[in-house]
Structure 1
Amino acid sequence: MSQRRDSTEPFHRYGRLTTEDPDEAQNVVERVYVPHKLEPVQGARIQARLNAISTGSITFGYLSYGATSRVHLPPMESVYHVNVTLLGSSYIQREDGQVQRTAGLRTGAILRPDMVHMIEWAGDAGQIALKIPKSRLEQQFTDLTGQEVDNEIDIDVLLDLTTPPGRSLLRAIDFVQDEWENDGALVHNSASRRQLESLVLTNLLLAGSGEYRGQLEREHGTIESRTVRLVVDFIEDFAIELPTLDDLTRISRVSARSLQIAFRRELGCTPSEYIRRVRLNRARAELLTPQAGTTTVSDVASTWGFYNPGRFAMLYRNQFGEQPSQTLARALGT
């Protein structure tokens, strides 16, 4: 039966599924995510809906079943799966005995690739479902800690959305949704999507729980000044590619936490703040040497990774004491 898709649903322009047929729902959701068994509880009549997009490595989707349903999930092997509960609730059982109940905008669930899970969706549950390649999340962990992952990250089911990283994760998901709904610059810029994925994965790890957290919070020794200079040179040379913190940890071969401490000691700012400063300087240089009739503030801003015009104007004014439009007008003699 055809149903009208609600324009308030996340990613509503990217509908993949609207059905009351459990077999069809299972088949379509499997194609987007992973093999599983869908079981409506006590023969409940489902109204399944799925909207989904991909940012490159990560699949983001909004999924609801419209009736109490169980999903039986065998080991996924190559991916981590995350449910960010927006509406209603769900209940998760993991094969090692861990159980977790999620609640809208308060808690979600992280599903490991090496374990069996059962997820019971309440009839009113609506969740953002993320499919993350195992190698991608584990590389993010290595970039943050400097430690290799032997098998899987020792992560618990609980995802706390009320902590600062949890709230940041929700804001990042909102940003992804807004960009795709409005055909924003992020949709067409792979370097920017890579930055966003890094932000999502970092906040996911920080909002999660488990023994791995000790490695995230541990100090990893003092970094020499020459390592900071190496990273600074890399930022200056490759600023146009919008380097991420992941890139910096790879070339410096130290953890993100150690690099942040070293930057604060040597330069009085974090690596991310330094990158932003360089990008703003490069944007200003372009505005000071415009091509009449072709150079615009919005084009320059997006070239250097600033996709929110208001925020770009604020950051620019804070650093240079004037609006970017004023810089451009003066350079054009208007």
Structure 2
Amino acid sequence: MTAEHMRSSTLWYRCDSLNAATDEIVNKLSDATGWEITDFSARHLSTTIDLRWYRVGDSIFSEVEFGGEVQMTVRPPQKTHIILTARSGVAGLQLDSEHIDVTPARAVALSDLDDAEIRLATGSRLSAIRVRADSLEKGLRDVATHSAGVPPRLERNLDVGHGRVRSWHRLWMFLLDEFDQPGILADTPREAHRLERLLLAMLLRAQPHIAAGNGTSSGSEDGFGRSVGGVDAASYPSYLRKTLQLIQEHPEWEHTIGSLAREVAVSERALQRRFRKHLGISPTAYMRNTRLDRVYESLRQASPYDVTIDQIARSWGFDNHGRFARRYRQRFNEAPSETLRRV
């Protein structure tokens, strides 16, 4: 392999011109994109292949243009998703019996259960993002009113010409262009994680089955008339929606089942019954999970040099450090110190 122009850093890498044999192309493409490529054939390849890839947090952005006709079979690695679009030209995807033309106006999301046969015509430029499933799950906690324990799923076909998907797609394209500029935004791990979280949050908000965020308007006065963790919150009783709003807006308050029931003018038993029926957990568990989510978010944004874990935990209502640490590990599968150090 020879590369006429390379730029690299700890966060991203670019190889403008790649001149290599087919096996080397497959290996380099797999290394750069994180894709599992099980089959690859090409015709009329140009002497150089434009391949760019950028690591931002735990996500990988990539772009490739072969300068010839290419056919390859791709599968996302285990517990990852790949989102594909065409910067130019058309990429034909075959997924089982379904054929999809990926164009600059359409993106396609693949899961680790998909084997996609991709055909690229000469002059087609393919852009992709590889995201980890656990990053999406953490992103879901940023945008949904509660985590229901159901892994987020992405819609297969994404129309990038309309609505929120269009806004997310513009950010994606902006970042690809930005990475090639001097003094890029993602030149430190902390800024890279912030950009990754922003992009994933916008992607999740664009999914029709995921909540559009806490306290945002969606056609109901209390802001909860929308999908929550895959469940239609518009079907909830009004007093349950109001209770959820109280907890979400002020999780640090010393709520009790009794105080919440009095606030929404129902009995404690009725409130507990509705939580169990619609959310599958008790009001106490919901409050605790909401507080844990806020601690997690605060730790992701904090510097280990400026604040302690105990200070953040206490600010969200956790006074017993040992009990808090156990609950935190149960919910996020990591210690609070690991979250803080990863910033």
Settle same-fold status: TM greater than 0.5: yes
Aligned to 1:24: 24
Contact 1:73 1:118 in 2 (8 A): yes
Aligned to 2:270: none
CA change 1:12–1:147 in 2 (3 A) is: closer
Q: Which amino acid is 2:175 matched to?
A: V
Aligned to 2:154: 155
Q: Which amino acid is 2:194 matched to?
A: Q
Q: Does 1:71 align with 2:72?
A: yes
| Structure 1: stretches of 5+ with no match in the other structure | 233-248, 256-274, 276-334
Aligned pairs for 1:251-290 within 5 A: 251-252=290-291
Aligned to 2:193: 194
CA change 1:231–1:176 in 2 (3 A) is: farther
Aligned to 1:128: 127
CA change 1:45–1:136 in 2 (3 A) is: same
CA change 1:134–1:226 in 2 (3 A) is: closer
CA change 1:40–1:164 in 2 (3 A) is: same
Shift of 1:86: 1.0
Q: TM-score scaled by structure 2? A: 0.56
Shift of 1:224: 4.7
Calculate percent identity across the aligned residue pairs.
15
Contact 1:108 1:159 in 2 (8 A): yes
Shift of 1:230: 4.1
Q: Does 1:48 align with 2:69?
A: no
Shift of 1:23: 1.6
Aligned to 2:250: 229
Aligned to 1:110: 109
- The CA distance in 1 between the partners of 2:160 and 2:29, in whole Å, is 25
CA change 1:212–1:179 in 2 (3 A) is: closer
Contact 1:39 1:70 in 2 (8 A): yes
Q: Which amino acid is 1:229 matched to?
A: H
More strand by share: 2
Shift of 1:108: 1.4
| Structure 2: stretches of 5+ with no match in the other structure | 212-226, 254-287, 295-300, 302-343
Q: How many residues align?
A: 232
Contact 2:93 2:116 in 1 (8 A): yes
Q: Which amino acid is 2:22 matched to?
A: P
Q: Which amino acid is 2:123 matched to?
A: D
- The CA distance in 1 between the partners of 2:252 and 2:18, in whole Å, is 49
- The CA distance in 2 between the partners of 1:250 and 1:171, in whole Å, is 33
SS of equivalent to 2:185 = helix
Contact 1:78 1:134 in 2 (8 A): yes
Aligned to 2:168: 169
SS of equivalent to 1:59 = strand
Per-residue displacement from partner, 1:17-43 (whole Å, max 9, x unpaired)? Answer: 6125322110101112122135335x4
Shift of 1:5: 6.3
- The CA distance in 1 between the partners of 2:76 and 2:110, in whole Å, is 9
Shift of 1:12: 11
